[in-house]
Chain A
């Protein structure tokens, strides 16, 4: 049913290897003091890459009908917007009220 371009076992293993490597890098970044200042953006980007790899390859979204991407992507975007809005409202407000 979804046999257009299909990932092979080799692809899955390669993805697994990349996921492990990224995880090691994440942990490494956590421990290396030099990266402390840029810790948050680096980690967010790395975990976003892991997220995308699992969704696109393991969950097959890259190869499936684009509608599934919409069906998942819409609520995902919404979820992200909700988290960001709440953070801004709570922490933005604090900064404003304390004048920091």
Chain B
């Protein structure tokens, strides 16, 4: 990966590209959240949100994802200072917490489905599954990304020289967490 090239803003090009990408993703999720909000309360049949959303369970998922962000910054800090033992550990923990989140989502979707909320059952089902499903797909990509870095680290091919790669991974992961913060509030808590 290219380094030591003069850049007119003195900033890493990959980091700049990635922040632009995150900006772009804001519009993606804004469109999905808008659709959810505009169709809120307009389902012609149930199940309705208050009948089916499980706040304690989802609070745990939220807590899980928040802790995964903590693990991620610890991973980055470790890689930056060259402590690859800690780096490997925290990368793995981040991915694991992400997997736990995904497991929770799968369980939740399954549970809702058996309670009668399918993708096409009503507008709540459609908007809910598409919004949280898109988020879940993003988490999945993130977990794969993290595990790839973890494997690279196991092979001894990840070190402080690749800190920017880990930083960008972190930016992606935190963004996914931040989107969930919004979804948790807008979908689950504000019914």
Closest to B72 in A: A58
B62 to nearest A CB, angstroms?
Answer: 6
A41-96 interface with B by 8 A CB criterion:
43-44, 46-47, 50-51, 54-55, 57-60, 65, 67-68, 71-72, 74-76, 78-80, 82-83, 86-87, 90
Q: Which of B22, B38, B167, B189 makes the CB contact (< 8 A) with A87?
A: B38
Q: Could you tell me if B66 and A16 are in contact, using CB atoms closer than 8 angstroms? A: yes
Q: How far is the CA of A74 from the CA of B22 in the complex (A)?
A: 11
**Looking at chain B's contact residues, is the secondary structure mostly helix, strand, loop, or mixed?**
helix
Task: Decide yes or no whether B30 CB sits under 8 A from chain A.
Answer: yes
Given the known interface contacts A23-B66, A68-B15, the answer about A74 and B55 at a Cβ–Cβ threshold of 8 Å is no
B19 to nearest A CB, angstroms?
Answer: 4
Given the known interface contacts A55-B174, A59-B174, A67-B9, the answer about A26 and B29 at a Cβ–Cβ threshold of 8 Å is no
How many B residues touch A, CB cutoff 8 Å? 47
Q: Could you tell me if B170 and A59 are in contact, using CB atoms closer than 8 angstroms? A: yes
Q: Could you tell me if A75 and B181 are in contact, using CB atoms closer than 8 angstroms? A: no
Pairs across A and B, CB under 8 Å, 5 listed:
A7-B73, A12-B73, A40-B190, A58-B174, A60-B167
Q: Could you tell me if A82 and B34 are in contact, using CB atoms closer than 8 angstroms? A: yes
Task: Decide yes or no whether B175 CB sits under 8 A from chain A.
Answer: yes
B residues contacting A by CB (< 8 A) are: 9-12, 15-16, 19-20, 22-24, 26-27, 29-31, 33-34, 37-38, 55-56, 59, 62-63, 66-67, 69-70, 72-74, 77, 164, 167, 170-171, 174-175, 177-178, 181-182, 184-185, 189-190
Given the known interface contacts A27-B55, A43-B189, A65-B11, the answer about A75 and B170 at a Cβ–Cβ threshold of 8 Å is no
How many A residues touch B, CB cutoff 8 Å? 45
Q: Could you tell me if B30 and A82 are in contact, using CB atoms closer than 8 angstroms? A: yes
Render A1-17 as a binary contact track against B, CB cut-off 8 A, 1 for contact. 10000010100110110
Q: Which of B9, B11, B30 makes the CB contact (< 8 A) with A80?
A: B30
Q: How far is the CA of A46 from the CA of B190 in the complex (A)?
A: 12
Closest to B27 in A: A79
Q: Could you tell me if A54 and B178 are in contact, using CB atoms closer than 8 angstroms? A: yes
Q: How far is the CA of A55 from the CA of B77 in the complex (A)?
A: 16
